[in-house]
Amino acid sequence: MQSHESIMDWYRGTGLRPYLDALPEEKKADFEQEVLQRVMAAYPKQKNGEIIFRFPRLFFTAVAR
């Protein structure tokens, strides 16, 4: 990812959506700031300035027999 903000944008469209929807407007900014701080701690910038954003994925193929 290009930045920690890029990760936050991804999170806003996926995992954070139910939490942000449940929070009152006045609490959303503080919540997002706390998540951003945790993202920055969990995903440090690399020497080239980019961030390796790892998340587990499961791929499989189903075959009918």
DSSP state of 5: H
pLDDT at 55 over 80: no
Average pLDDT over residues 35-62: 89
In CATH, the architecture of 1-65 is Orthogonal Bundle (1.10)
If you count them, how many residues does the chain have?
65
SS (H, E, C) 6-52: HHHHHHHHCCCHHHHHHCCHHHHHHHHHHHHHHHHHHCCECCCCCEC
pLDDT top residue among 60 and 56: 60
pLDDT at 14 over 90: no
Q: Which residues does residue 51 pair with via DSSP β-bridges, in sequence order?
A: 45
pLDDT at 51 over 80: yes
- Model pTM above 0.85: no
Cα separation, 63 vs 22, in Å, equals 40
pLDDT at 9 over 90: yes
